[in-house]
Amino acid sequence: MKTTLVIDRIEDGWAVVEYNKKGKTFSMPAALLPEGAEEGDVIDLSISVKGDETLRRRIRLQKILEDNMDD
């Protein structure tokens, strides 16, 4: 999924970004913004599921659970 955001403001290490034309906003760590991004900039946000990594984590956590159930 990819969406376009507008940086509304940056304060105390947080960026408030608008995510639709109705002015809906959410906060995100300012450290995740592109270098040099500032208030009023239009940015793209892309989110995807990392299937390989998710599967590895699930397998590792299942093993931990199984190991602890034996106690």
CATH of the domain at 7: 2.40.50
How high is the pLDDT of residue 42? 97
Which pair of tokens denotes residue 26?
A: 């959410």
How high is the pLDDT of residue 21? 79
The domain containing residue 32 runs over which residues?
Answer: 2-69
- Structurally, the chain folds into a number of domains equal to 1
How high is the pLDDT of residue 71? 60
pLDDT at 40 > cutoff 90: yes
The answer to whether 14 and 28 are in contact (CB under 8 A) is yes
> How far from 64 is each of 19, 67, 68, 69, 70, CA to CA, in Å?
39, 5, 6, 9, 10
Alpha helices per DSSP H over 1-71:
51-69
How high is the pLDDT of residue 47? 94
State the CB neighbour count (10 A cutoff) for residue 7.
20
- Summarize pLDDT for 3-20 with one digit per residue, the tens: 999 999 999 999 999 998
How high is the pLDDT of residue 34? 95
How high is the pLDDT of residue 22? 84
